[in-house]
Structures are given as structure tokens and as C-alpha cells.
């Protein structure tokens, strides 16, 4: 079976048309999330080479920058509001395009990173974008954000007591209120309500959906929220893939992603 898998990935690499994929991590993630989860290892097998890491201070190049099919990871302040992250991401994308002029971009976002990438597209600051692929992203919001906000909506001295007994995660969530507010279920006046009704660029859209054990979604995001076809302005324009996994990234995502990239 190993030789068959290797042959399959080789065929994917030969047929892949995208030039540069940019992997955008989710809430409390980092550029290293893709490697730690095993995704990048499967991408390498599929013929995609790591070209660098985007940071707010500039690009950190890696050896795969000259490969025909390459990918970058990015390091974003994941507890910042979505619009702030999108502006930072746009700067990184433009730096990547300066290094690879004339090549197209495929944005890949996991969880909140998919919303950040979509926001960057809608802001019109991603020239040469070819596609957006999102994995378990809360495009219509998630009740988990509401729960996190409720659990940390404390006044002093209750906040101090909770911080002492719960630990650093309590303080991190309190510092994340901007992005958590952005990821609450869409309603008039919310960021997602506005974003989901803005014109979206004519690129390809793919939703990787975690339906969960009963089809309702994973432990963080409802299935309907993960499907960009449920965004009013994108209805009918989105391909969908289903993976029976938990919300976090998994090695299988690398295989699924390699297959998607080969078909774009």
C-alpha cells in the first residue's frame, strides 16, 4: 500500500495547478500548528514544499521557495479581532507575492483562520488569489464563543479568584474578547453578519466540513456554520468535503488538502 500512496501523491503533484498555498492557523494556533498536526508532512508527500513563514516582521524563507508547488505558513496574533488579523495577513500575502510575482495564491484557513482569510479576500487586498479553502471554520459563528465570553465576564475580585484557580487560560480568553465577539453567531450589527453580505471575489471556494458523529458538527463549530454555501452571497458557489474528524487539525487534512489543491 505504501507504493500506491506514493504513486497517488505523485500524480496529485503532477496535476496540481496552484503555485503558492498559504496556510492560516486558527484561534490559539500558530504557524507550527500545521507541522505539529502532521498536515505539512502529508503535503510534502503530495509534492508541496515549505517555502517560508510569514511573520509581522517579514518572511522567513525556507528551502522550498523555488519549488513549482510551495506553501507558506503564517504567524498571526490569533487573539486579536478578525479585522486586525486580516490586515496583518494581507501584508504577509503581498510580501509573498513580491517574492513570487505572477504566481497565484490559494488561501487555506483552519477554524477562525478561515474567517480571517475570507476577510482578507473581501477587503480586496489579496491580488492574484485563486481559491479559498477553509477547514472547520465558523463562517456563521459558534455558540462556543458565547460560552467563552460568558465564562470570563467577571468583575474584580471574582476575575482574580478565577484567574488564580483556573490558570493562564482564563487570562488568555479574557484577552481574546475581540476575536470571540467576532465569532459569535451572526446577528445584525455583528462582524459576521456584515462580512457574510459583502461582495466576494470570483475565486474558487471549498469548505472542508466536520459533520461530527450525528451530522451536527464537531465539538466547536456546527456543521452548517462550516459550510460556506450557507453564506448568502456564496450560496451555490462552494464545493464541500466532509471529514469525520474532531475540530483540531489532523494528518488526514494534509491528504485531503493535497487532493483539493490538485483539483483547483
Ramachandran area for residue 28 (φ above 0: left; ψ -120 to 50: alpha; else beta): left
Please state, in angstroms and rounded to a whole number, the distance separating the CA atoms of residues 213 and 193.
28
Nearest to 260 by CA among 137, 106, 111: 106
Domain coverage including residue 237: 2-142+183-263
Kindly state the percentage of the chain with pLDDT values over 90: 74
Q: Annotate 174-224 with DSSP letters as a single string.
A: HHTHHHHHHTSPP-TTSHHHHHTTS---S-EEEEEE---TTSSB-SSSBHH
**Does residue 261 carry a pLDDT above 60?**
yes
Q: What pLDDT sits at residue 63?
A: 84
Q: What is the pLDDT of residue 167?
A: 53
pLDDT tens-digit map of 216-240: 999 999 999 999 999 999 999 999 9
pTM, two decimals, is 0.89
What per-residue confidence (pLDDT) applies to 203? 96
* 91 domain residue, yes or no: yes
Residue 160 falls inside a structural domain: no
Q: Which residues contact 160 (CB under 8 A, 6 or more apart)?
A: none
Identify whether 168 is part of a domain: no
Residue 150 included in any domain: no
How far apart are alpha carbons 111 and 220 in whole angstroms?
9
In a domain, residue 149? The reply is no
Q: Please give the tally of structural domains in the chain.
A: 1
Confidence of residue 180 (pLDDT cuts 50, 70, 90): very high
**Looking at residue 16, what is its pLDDT?**
42
Which range (89-98, 165-174, 176-185, 219-228) has the least confidence? 165-174
Q: Give the CATH number of the domain where residue 223 resides.
A: 3.40.50.1820
- Report if residue 175 sits inside a domain: no
H-helix or E-strand spanning residue 53 = strand 49-55
Q: Which range, of 155-159, 169-173, 191-195, 237-241, averages the lowest pLDDT?
A: 155-159
Does residue 174 lie within any of the structural domains?
no
Amino acid at each position: 500500500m505504501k507504493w500506491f500512496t506514493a504513486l497517488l501523491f505523485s500524480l496529485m503533484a503532477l496535476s496540481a495547478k496552484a503555485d503558492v498555498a498559504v496556510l492560516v492557523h486558527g484561534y490559539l494556533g500558530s504557524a507550527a500548528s500545521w507541522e505539529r498536526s502532521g498536515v505539512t508532512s502529508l503535503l510534502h508527500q503530495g509534492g508541496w514544499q515549505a517555502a517560508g513563514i510569514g511573520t509581522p516582521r517579514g518572511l522567513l524563507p525556507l528551502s522550498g521557495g523555488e519549488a513549482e508547488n510551495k506553501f507558506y505558513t503564517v504567524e498571526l496574533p490569533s487573539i486579536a479581532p478578525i479585522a486586525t488579523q486580516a490586515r496583518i495577513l494581507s501584508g504577509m500575502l503581498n510580501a509573498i507575492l513580491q517574492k513570487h510575482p505572477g504566481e497565484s495564491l490559494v488561501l487555506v484557513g483552519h477554524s477562525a483562520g478561515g474567517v480571517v482569510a475570507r476577510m482578507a479576500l473581501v477587503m480586496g487586498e489579496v491580488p492574484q488569489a485563486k481559491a479559498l479553502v477553509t477547514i472547520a471554520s465558523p463562517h456563521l459563528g459558534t455558540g462556543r464563543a458565547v460560552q467563552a465570553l460568558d465564562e470570563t465576564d467577571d468583575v474584580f475580585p471574582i476575575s482574580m479568584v478565577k484567574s488564580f484557580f483556573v490558570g493562564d487560560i482564563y487570562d488568555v480568553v479574557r484577552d481574546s474578547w475581540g476575536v470571540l465577539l467576532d465569532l459569535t453567531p451572526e446577528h445584525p450589527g455583528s462582524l459576521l453578519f456584515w462580512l457574510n453580505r459583502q461582495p466576494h471575489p470570483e475565486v474558487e471556494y471549498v469548505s472542508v466540513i466536520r459533520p461530527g458523529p450525528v451530522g451536527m458538527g464537531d465539538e466547536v463549530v456546527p456543521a452548517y456554520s462550516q459550510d460556506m454555501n450557507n453564506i448568502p452571497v456564496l450560496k451555490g458557489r462552494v464545493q464541500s468535503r466532509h471529514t469525520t474528524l474532531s475540530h483540531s487539525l489532523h494528518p488526514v487534512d494534509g491528504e485531503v488538502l493535497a487532493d483539493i489543491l490538485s483539483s483547483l
